[in-house]
């Protein structure tokens, strides 16, 4: 694969991720309806699946998350907030999602849907650990259960967002690859 094809492919991947990431800002206008209905999980899966350089697979989605976090935090607080109390855990969850995306060898509806469900389950189990929220929930197994139950509406929105944006990102890129050979990976030319 020539350098031009690699640059074209990476540029298209980055532009798709950044464009999808901008949708996070829409949730600011509709915080209750769109809470957690974002493209971030789909972006992580997409980056993991399509970037041939794995460092780019992690850097681009996590940087998009970071920059959109800064913008959203500013919209909500009118302050420049780079990191917040749960930042480490949030970024860990999305790094795991990138890894899950890297396991997708062929983008099919089943593989993308399965990856989205597994990713949301991991996010749910990690992000709802009771000690991440101070004293909101007891730091016990029962408190963990309470936290998990309270998070169901948010995780439901996350799965819907991951599925919708996953279908748009994966389907859009697969369609573009079928029309433009510069977007295909090395293995796809051997077929």
Per-residue confidence of the chain (191 residues) as pLDDT tens digits?
555 555 889 999 999 999 999 988 887 777 777 788 889 999 999 999 999 999 999 999 999 999 999 998 888 888 888 888 888 999 999 999 999 999 999 999 999 999 999 999 999 999 988 888 777 888 889 989 999 999 898 899 999 999 999 999 999 999 999 998 888 876 654 43
Query: Would you call 141 exposed, middle or buried from its count of C-beta atoms within 10 A (0-12, 13-18, 19+)?
Result: exposed
CB 45 within 8 A of CB 100: yes
Q: Domain containing 78: what range?
A: 3-182
> Which tokens hold the place of 79?
């302050």
> Is 91 inside a domain boundary?
yes
> Is 187 inside a domain boundary?
no
> Is 191 inside a domain boundary?
no
Residue identified by tokens 């077929």 is 191
> Is 77 inside a domain boundary?
yes
Alpha-carbon distances, residue 9 vs 20, 82, 91, 171, 176 (angstroms): 17, 30, 25, 15, 10
Sign of CA dihedral 118, 62, 154, 132: positive
Structural domains in the chain (count): 1
> Is 188 inside a domain boundary?
no
């Amino acid at each position: 694969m020539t350098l031009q094809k690699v640059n074209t492919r990476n540029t298209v991947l980055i532009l798709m991720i950044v464009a999808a990431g901008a949708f996070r800002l829409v949730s600011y206008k509709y915080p209750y309806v769109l809470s957690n209905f974002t493209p971030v999980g789909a972006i992580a899966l997409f980056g993991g699946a399509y970037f041939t350089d794995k460092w780019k697979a992690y850097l681009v989605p996590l940087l998009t998350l970071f920059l959109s976090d800064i913008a959203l935090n500013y919209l909500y607080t009118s302050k420049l907030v780079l990191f917040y109390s749960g930042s480490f855990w949030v970024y860990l969850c999305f790094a795991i999602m990138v890894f899950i995306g890297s396991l997708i060898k062929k983008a099919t509806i089943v593989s993308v849907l399965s990856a989205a469900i597994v990713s949301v389950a991991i996010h749910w189990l990690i992000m709802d650990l009771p000690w991440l929220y101070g004293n909101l929930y007891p730091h016990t197994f029962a408190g963990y259960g309470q936290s998990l139950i309270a998070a169901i509406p948010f995780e439901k929105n996350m799965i819907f967002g991951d599925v919708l944006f996953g279908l748009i990102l994966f389907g859009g890129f697969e369609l573009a690859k079928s029309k433009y050979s510069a977007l295909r990976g090395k293995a796809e030319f051997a077929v």
